[in-house]
């Protein structure tokens, strides 16, 4: 695992999907995120995953989180109110 780790927030993933790196236009970007995750560099947290899964099941980000949840999503231990 890398010493440096990066967390993606929901906005970064949503804007990437909708504007700059559409999965149809730039699948390499999403492959890069998966590769970075497999290398222990890229992650998100459970609250972000929950936000991304509020959309439709057929949405790319919903499917992305479902597919990669076991390695990509870090569970948080505290509740923020």
- pLDDT tens for each residue of 12-22: 999 999 999 99
Instruction: Give the tokens for residue 48.
Output: 């972000």
Contact 74, 45 (CB under 8 A): yes
What confidence score (pLDDT) does residue 1 get?
65
Q: Is the pTM of this model over 0.75?
A: yes
57-62, Cβ contacts within 8 angstroms, sequence gap of 24 or more = 60/17, 60/23, 61/13, 61/14, 61/17
Question: Model confidence over 1-10: pLDDT tens digits?
Answer: 668 999 999 9
Mean pLDDT, residues 22-33: 97
What confidence score (pLDDT) does residue 79 get?
65
- Helices 60-72 and 27-38 cross at an angle (nearest 10°) of 20
């Amino acid at each position: 695992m890398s010493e440096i780790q990066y967390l993606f927030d929901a906005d970064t993933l949503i804007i990437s999907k909708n504007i700059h790196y559409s999965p149809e236009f730039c699948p390499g970007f999403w492959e890069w995120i998966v590769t970075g995750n497999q290398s222990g560099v890229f992650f998100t947290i459970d609250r972000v995953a929950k936000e991304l899964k509020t959309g439709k099941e057929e949405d790319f980000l919903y499917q992305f989180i479902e597919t990669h949840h076991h390695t990509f999503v870090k569970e948080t231990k505290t509740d923020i109110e």
